Every structure is written in C-alpha cells, then in structure tokens.
Structure 1
Amino acid sequence: MSAGPSAQFSPAQLRAEQFCGMTWGWTGIRGTWGTDAATASMSELPGLGANWVGIAFGALQATAQSTVIDYRAEPTVTDDEVRWAIREAQGLGLRVCLKPVVNVADGTWRAFIGFFDDEVPGEPGWTAWFASYREFLLHYAEIAQEEGCEMFCVGCEMVQTDKRAAEWRALIADVRDVYTGILTYNCDKYQEDRVTWWDAVDIISSSGYYPQGDWDTQLDRIEAVVRREGKPFFFMESGCPSRLGSAARPNDWNLVGEPSEKEQADWYSDMLQTCARREWVQGFMLWDWPAKLYSRENAHSNDDYCIFGKAAEAIVQEEYLRRTS
C-alpha cells in the first residue's frame, strides 16, 4: 500500500473543516478528461474560492435489476483519466473526494436499483449485486489510496440499497482495508433520517436539492440526525438549474423552462444564507462543473446546474471566501 492520503484528518480537524467544493467532470465520459478543455475547466475552481473538488464519474449496469457493473468499458473514463483528474486538482491545491457512481444504461435513476428482500433461486438478487459493486468500489478505493485522495465516497443516492445495512457495513469495512482516508456516503434528499448505518462512515453527506423557502424545515430534520449520530456533516451535492421553475424543483433536471440566471441566483442566496445559520453544516460539493465549460459569453443561455459565468457564481464565491477566511 502507498503512503495514502496526504492529509490525515483527526476527528477534531474533520469537524473544523469547511467544504467549499464543486463536483467536477460528471458523468465522466471517456475521452473528455485529460484534454485542454478539461484542464481549463479545472483551473477555474480556485478562483471560485474552492478548496475541495468532488471528482465524479459513472459506470453502467444494464438495468435496475442487473447484477454486473461494467466499469472497465466505455463510456466510463479510464483509470488514467481518473488519475489525471486527481493529480490536476492536487496541483491546483484542491483537496479531493473521489466519487465513483453507478448508473443504469437504460436511463433508470440509480435510486431504483433493487431486488427482492430475500434471495430467490433463479432471480437476480442483492448478493450478486453487492459482489459486483464491491469489485467496482474497491478498484477505485485503491486508486484513491495510491493517488492520495483525502476523501472517498462509497455510494450516491442509492435509495433502495440503503436498507441493506449489513451489506453496507461489510463493504465499508472492506474499503477501509485498502483506503485510509475519510469515508462518506452521499444519501439522497429526504433520506438522511432513513439511513441506519451512519456510524460506519466518518462524515454524513447528502444531496441538498430542497426547494427555495423549505430549507429551514429540512435542516431541522437533518440536524436531529447529525446530533443523534454525533458525526460531522456536509452536502455532497447541492444545486439548482438556471431555469424558470427550478427553484421549486431543483432536483428535476428534466424540468422544462426558459433560462433564468435570477432563478438560480435566488435559490443559491436562500440556500447559502439558511445553511450559514447552522454551524453544523460544514459546506458543499456543489452540483456541478463539467469537464468542458461553455464560454462565459454564452452563460446566459445555459440552463443547466453549472454556475460558471452566471449570477450565482459571485454569490457562491462570496460565501466560500467567507467560510475559508
């Protein structure tokens, strides 16, 4: 085993850390990392005030009931591309959370990956799926260790798997055999109080796609979990498209609406100001920052989650500089 993550956080240091981060590179399409465009994209993050980056990419299984995760095949980025992204971020002074994610090739959202509660002969089941997921996860945990990533995310928004506490505990124990840094699990929105195995990870994280005006209610609910578990917390994802109607449905990437920087900026102002009043919210890996950016001149016509060149960029930058000053 290599020397591992360069920054070994004590429990006190982890509780004091401010995560001023961005999720970069999604969905990790082979051939799009390690390019001049990807280099330029990553280089913009320090100017935003970022001190962390979540390097996120997906591997595919055929359907929600498949038990084979084909992470070595296209379109998943190659191991060399993953290593390039880590090293590029480190060269910019960013701390890295490596985040390998499973997607479903037929378009089904990963939250619906699931099987019968009990194994049934002749039917796909949890045992085979977790065996494949274990191979997938350990492969990237070893890369995270070798490249010195400070954090590793063991899963993302896998709602139907959350109830399989024994399998998750065993899997996380196996990850710790090869990776010595911080471990988190990125649960889905509204699921923070449903996961029963938070004690197995080092820091709780979730996807913060809550409607504008609803943040206090949701933070009250999440705070009860954080206090009960005695764990630090940050939002591994959070964001809103720059699209009319998205502030009320920030998780809906298919919502139809005209581009609106104001809609996105208002949502960010509400979210960041509300979270700033909760000292236990230690920050964000905002969603998201693609490997190839549009031009600043064309930012006004882009209606996706990225804040580059939009009104929300300055709002995030101000909050990130406040958190790290």
Structure 2
Amino acid sequence: MKQIFYSLLGFLLVCCAARPLKIEKVNGVSFVASRDTIDSANVAPLVKINANYAAIMPFGFVKNLDHPDLVHNTNRQWFGETRAGAKQYIETLQKDGIKIMIKPQIWVWKGEFTGKIMMASEESWKALETSYSNFILEYAVLADEVSAEILCIGTELELFIKHRPQYWTELIAEIRNIYNGKLTYAANWDEFKRTPFWEQLDYIGIDAYFPVSNSKTPTVEECNAGWFKHKQTIKDLATTLGKPVLFTEYGYRSVDYSGKEPWVFDRSMNQVNLQAQVNTTKALYDTFWGEDWFAGGFVWKWFHDHKDSGGSDNHQFTPQNKPVEKLIEAHYELYN
C-alpha cells in the first residue's frame, strides 16, 4: 500500500511539473458604450477570446477645459453612457462570467485632452469638485449595487489632481464608505509617476500608451527594447509602494508607426499596417504579463457589434476581426 501511495504521489508531481499552474490575470477589454442594449450574443466574442474582465465606461461631458459643470446621465446621451445603460451592460456580461471594472470618463468638447482640465478661480474649482463628486459617487453606488470587482475613480486628470490633491484624498475616503471593492485610477502613461494618492488605492492604474519604436513596422524585438526603460520605472514604483500595476488601457492602432506615439488617434494616420499592431501588442505581452507585480489590463477598444467592427481595412485601435485578435485569444488563454 505504501509503495502504491508513493507511486501515485510521484505521478502527480510529474503531472504538475508537466502542466504549470496558470496564473490568472485581468484579461480585459474596454467595452465601448453604444446606443443599444446588449445581449448574450454581444458577450460571446469576449468569451471566445478568453477575456475575463470588461471595463464599462459611462460618460460625463464638459463644454471646455475651464468649464466646471459636468453633465452626465441624461436622455441626450447614448444608452451605454448612462447609469441605466452601464447597469444593463454589467448584468448581461456577468451572466457569462465576465468580471467588471466601472471606469467613468469625461469627454471635453472637440475631444480636448482631459489632463489639461484647469479652472481659473477657486469658485470654479469648488464647482468642479461638487460636479465631479456627483458623477463619480453615482457610479460608486452602482459598483456596490452590482458587486463590480473594480472601480476606476478617474481617467487622465493630471492638472485636476495636481491642483486639488486634498479633494482627491477626501473623495477616495468617501468612495470607500460606499463601495468595498478594489479601487484604481487611470493615469496617463506620462503622468503615473506624479500621481499622489496611489497608497490609498489597490492598483497603480496606467493608460499604457508608452512610445516603444520609431519604425514603420516595428519588430517585436525593437519594441521589447523600447519597453526596457519604461518597465524599470513602472516596476520600481510597484515595488516601492507594494501595489500591483494594472494597465487600465493598452493597445495599438493597426497603422504604420504604431509604436511611435500610440496615444494618437488622428484619422489622417490611415495607412493600414496589421503586422505593426500584432508586433507591438506581442511585445507588451512578453514584457509584462509574466511579472508577479503586474495584474493585467484592458485592451482598447472593443465594440458590442463584433461582426461589423474592425476588419482588415480598419486603421483604428480595435483588435476585432484583425490578426491581433487571434494573438489576444491565445495569450489570454494562458492567463485565465
């Protein structure tokens, strides 16, 4: 009997050695809000690519960079941008086992960069704080209501944070009184080193549009080299704070020079380069997903109408119906 036991134990150890234990990561997509409700048919493509998380992104709107009034949750918005729409999306995704990060975002008129939102007076700052609190706390309540795993408290708001740090400290405490899940903030790729409140959050969140190559069709090796400096900075911060890093957004357009300025979405950049998108994405996976201090990320961006999205002639970010989708599917399967 003892000999049988040891033989069985040896067999199990050999099997375990042959099949390394999977390390689960946040294998996420940034799920774009639309005019429509969604159903299980819209979720099936996420399941197919082995995604286990979706970022749901309700929106608020401001007229310009120095305007303090944030308009949100109105009947003039697309359904998916509202509270009711976010809830419907979340509950539908959850039925298929997809976990949730709620990531409320601001759109400035004409698409101006939110990191430059800046008030001209104390009165305007106070008004913005009140307006933003109403916005984010509404979604903190929703996050608690639907048991979302993660709430992102803001996206690329560097000057707002720089000039009003006490407000953000108090806001985080207020959110904690409402919602018991994990918190992060989506810092821009060149902002995260200066974000003052990481110790109050659960993840260091980065929208990871780091420049990694100046080549027209960057190779994986070039991009790996391009990541070297950035990776060390990110790792040092994670180690110092003892916090995991989450790429709250990551991704590349399927265009020439996709690794040069990955944040650019100018439609005049329209030379389709599917291989550039594959190579830049693979290098990001090779660089980060195997690190124990790295939690995972959300690819930018995923549309609900999968069959009509992306495609081989599309030069935008979405990976849908492009070669990079197969790369994502295979990679996410390794960490799910």
Q: Output the TM-score relative to the length of structure 1.
A: 0.86
Which residue, 281, 285, 288 being the options, matches 1:275? 288
Does structure 2 retain, via aligned residues, the 8 Å contact 1:238–1:286? yes
SS of the counterpart of 2:192?
coil
Q: Which amino acid aligns with 1:289?
A: W
Does structure 2 retain, via aligned residues, the 8 Å contact 1:275–1:281? yes
Q: Which amino acid aligns with 2:253?
A: P
* CA 35–169 in structure 1, closer or farther in 2 if over 3 Å, else same: same
Alignment partner, residue 152 of structure 2:
153
Alignment partner, residue 144 of structure 1:
143
Q: Give distance in 1, aligned partners of 2:285 and 2:302.
A: 18
1:258 equivalent to 2:271? Answer yes
1:100 equivalent to 2:104? Answer yes
User: Structure 1 residues 245-254 or 273-282, which shifts more?
Assistant: 273-282
Q: How do 1:181-260 and structure 2 match up within 5 A?
A: 181-212=181-212, 213=223, 214-254=226-266, 256-260=269-273
Number of residues of Structure 1 aligned to a counterpart in Structure 2: 297
Does structure 1 retain, via aligned residues, the 8 Å contact 2:243–2:293? no
Give, in angstroms, the shift of residue 17 of structure 1: 5.3
1:110 equivalent to 2:114? Answer yes
Alignment partner, residue 320 of structure 1:
332
Q: Give distance in 2, aligned partners of 1:279 and 1:72.
A: 38
SS of the counterpart of 1:142?
helix
Q: Give distance in 2, aligned partners of 1:93 and 1:197.
A: 31
1:91 equivalent to 2:90? Answer no
Alignment partner, residue 31 of structure 2:
24
Alignment partner, residue 33 of structure 1:
36
Q: Which amino acid aligns with 1:72?
A: N
Q: Give distance in 1, aligned partners of 2:126 and 2:110.
A: 22
* CA 158–294 in structure 1, closer or farther in 2 if over 3 Å, else same: farther
* CA 84–22 in structure 1, closer or farther in 2 if over 3 Å, else same: same
Does structure 1 retain, via aligned residues, the 8 Å contact 2:24–2:335? no
* CA 291–105 in structure 1, closer or farther in 2 if over 3 Å, else same: farther
Give, in angstroms, the shift of residue 59 of structure 1: 1.4
1:81 equivalent to 2:56? Answer no
Q: Which amino acid aligns with 1:154?
A: I
1:289 equivalent to 2:302? Answer yes
User: Structure 1 residues 286-295 or 147-156, which shifts more?
Assistant: 286-295
Does structure 2 retain, via aligned residues, the 8 Å contact 1:33–1:85? no
Q: Which amino acid aligns with 1:232?
A: P
**Superposed CA offset, 1:225-247 (max 9, x none):** 11111111110100001111222
Alignment partner, residue 4 of structure 1:
none
Q: Give distance in 1, aligned partners of 2:42 and 2:116.
A: 32
* CA 149–112 in structure 1, closer or farther in 2 if over 3 Å, else same: same
Q: Which runs of 4+ in 1 moved over 4 A?
A: none
Does structure 1 retain, via aligned residues, the 8 Å contact 2:254–2:275? yes
Q: Output the TM-score relative to the length of structure 2.
A: 0.83
* CA 293–221 in structure 1, closer or farther in 2 if over 3 Å, else same: same
Q: Give distance in 2, aligned partners of 1:307 and 1:41.
A: 15
* CA 304–41 in structure 1, closer or farther in 2 if over 3 Å, else same: farther
Does structure 2 retain, via aligned residues, the 8 Å contact 1:260–1:300? no
Q: Give distance in 1, aligned partners of 2:243 and 2:24.
A: 13
Alignment partner, residue 167 of structure 2:
167
Give, in angstroms, the shift of residue 301 of structure 1: 0.8
Q: Give distance in 1, aligned partners of 2:184 and 2:203.
A: 5
Give, in angstroms, the shift of residue 85 of structure 1: 0.3
Q: Which protein has the larger Cα radius of gyration, Structure 1 or Structure 2? A: 2
Q: Which amino acid aligns with 2:90?
A: I
Alignment partner, residue 134 of structure 1:
133
Give, in angstroms, the shift of residue 191 of structure 1: 1.6
**Superposed CA offset, 1:195-247 (max 9, x none):** 11101111111111123322121111111111111111110100001111222
Q: Give distance in 2, aligned partners of 1:51 and 1:35.
A: 17
Q: Give distance in 2, aligned partners of 1:299 and 1:226.
A: 37
**Superposed CA offset, 1:18-59 (max 9, x none):** 11111101xx34xx23146xx533321011111111111321
Give, in angstroms, the shift of residue 272 of structure 1: 0.9
Which residue, 290, 301, 312 being the options, matches 2:313? 301
Q: Give distance in 2, aligned partners of 1:91 and 1:188.
A: 32
Give, in angstroms, the shift of residue 315 of structure 1: 1.4
Q: CA RMSD in A?
A: 1.8
Alignment partner, residue 215 of structure 2:
none
Tell me the percent identity: 24
Does structure 1 retain, via aligned residues, the 8 Å contact 2:103–2:152? yes
Q: Give distance in 2, aligned partners of 1:110 and 1:292.
A: 28
Q: Give distance in 1, aligned partners of 2:249 and 2:90.
A: 19
Larger proportion of helix: 2
Q: Which amino acid aligns with 1:238?
A: Y
Structure 1 residues without counterparts, runs of 5 or longer: 1-15
